[in-house]
Amino acid sequence: MANISRRWFLKSALVMGTTPLLAKKGKKLDDNERKLRFVHITDSHLDLSDTDTVEALELAVSHINQHYKNLDFVLFGGDNFNNNVIGEKDALIFRDVCEKLHCPYYAVRGNKESSPTMDETINLQEFQKLFVADKGLKTSGKDWLLEIKGYNILGLDSCIEGQNNGRYSEETLKFAEQTLKNKKPTVILNHHPYSNYWKSKDKKDIYKYVLNNTKETQKRLFKYSNLVLTLSGHKHIDSVTKIKHTKVIVTRGFIRPFDLDMFPMRFVELDGRKVHEKLIYTS
């Protein structure tokens, strides 16, 4: 076999962008170093007027702590709490429950957080203070980036203040483009889905639920071969499809249990650009 120099190996790995981590010389990466494991929860709609919603989230945290002990983190995909009380009490309770997880957690906003039903509720700056600041994330405007194990996890805010519909701002698209250029396997977490996967014929329904500038977004972001996965919510209907080479997932709304105490979440494992996922329930 021809000799392959270390310089050639490192150069090739950087150009191809297929290896999430480079092992030290003579060391083979084990599963925990190479693979990324996490749970996606969206649309939990914690509401202080309904104690069942708080107990459901507590059940999810307990289930994860007991059955998914090797997670790197948990992702929350928006409409995490209904933001319908004066002040930040519901946000603080959501945070207190999530902080009982055995692993870190990260969150983006949904329309509930960005379009409260009354004045003096939590706003963007307060959401970022509670759920983005001091988490070791790189931030740009409304958006954040977690770099871990050679992967990019992009938290993109697709919300429009005071509206249920969503779109990516130019600032958000540029931040995502710049991140994707580093060639690392990348996951995008946001709230609004990229397609009318439930095949609605109602224009108002589509406008409300599908990312309003999805065509531009697909043209600019989905051209990158290292965009391996997107995770969304909002519609509460589960879907696993593809756009070009990217696996596109909308996880069933946590607020829609399959049966008694069977609240839905999604377990995801990444191995480089390979995506393994399954819908899981709290019981």
pLDDT (tens digit per residue) in 210-260: 999 999 999 999 999 999 999 999 999 999 999 999 999 999 999 999 999
Residue 13 has pLDDT above 70, yes or no: no
pLDDT of 9 reads 35
Domain CATH for 80:
3.60.21.10
Residue 3 has pLDDT above 50, yes or no: no
pLDDT of 108 reads 98
Residue 15 has pLDDT above 60, yes or no: no
Domain range enclosing 148: 34-281
Please check whether residue 9 lies inside any domain of the structure: no
Please check whether residue 121 lies inside any domain of the structure: yes
pLDDT of 136 reads 96
Per residue in 22-74, pLDDT tens? 455 556 777 778 899 999 999 999 999 999 999 999 999 999 999 999 999 99
Q: What pLDDT band is residue 17 in, cutting at 50, 70 and 90? A: very low
Please check whether residue 194 lies inside any domain of the structure: yes
Work out the average pLDDT over 186-209.
Answer: 98
Please check whether residue 245 lies inside any domain of the structure: yes
Residue 192 has pLDDT above 80, yes or no: yes
Please check whether residue 8 lies inside any domain of the structure: no
Q: What pLDDT band is residue 10 in, cutting at 50, 70 and 90? A: very low
Instruction: Say how far apart CA 175 and CA 152 lie, in whole Å.
Output: 12
Question: How many domains, the chain?
Answer: 1
Per residue in 143-189, pLDDT tens? 999 999 999 999 999 999 999 999 999 999 999 999 999 999 999 99
pLDDT of 33 reads 81
Work out the average pLDDT over 109-134.
Answer: 92
Please check whether residue 15 lies inside any domain of the structure: no
pLDDT of 21 reads 52
pLDDT of 26 reads 55
pLDDT of 14 reads 40
Please check whether residue 25 lies inside any domain of the structure: no
pLDDT of 18 reads 46
- Give the range among 1-10, 69-78, 104-113, 144-153 with minimum mean pLDDT: 1-10
